[in-house]
Amino acid sequence: MYVQHVGSAVERPVKQLRGFKRITLKPGERQTVQFPLKGSDLAYWDAAKQSWVVERDKLKIMVGASSADLRLDKTIDVTGN
């Protein structure tokens, strides 16, 4: 699972890995995989405040076979701290 901060006030990577699990599926087989995503997973260090900050922004969550093969995405609002 990768995340992308859309409209962040600070420079962020285009894709940040925030969850990983390798699974093997047979043709036609389905499996549910869950990734917990905590506020602390979205924080960055603000040197001026000398603290971790979770900013209000939009977060694009992407999942797929690899960073080059992302098959699902959803954008959510992050309310910040």
Listing DSSP states for 13-53 in one string gives -S-EE---------TT----------GGGG-EEETTTTEEE
What does the pLDDT read at residue 79? Answer: 87
Residue 57, amino acid: D
State both tokens at 2: 């990768």
State both tokens at 9: 């006030």
Averages of pLDDT over each 10 residues, the chain, 81 residues: 94 94 93 92 93 94 94 91 63
pTM of the model: 0.84
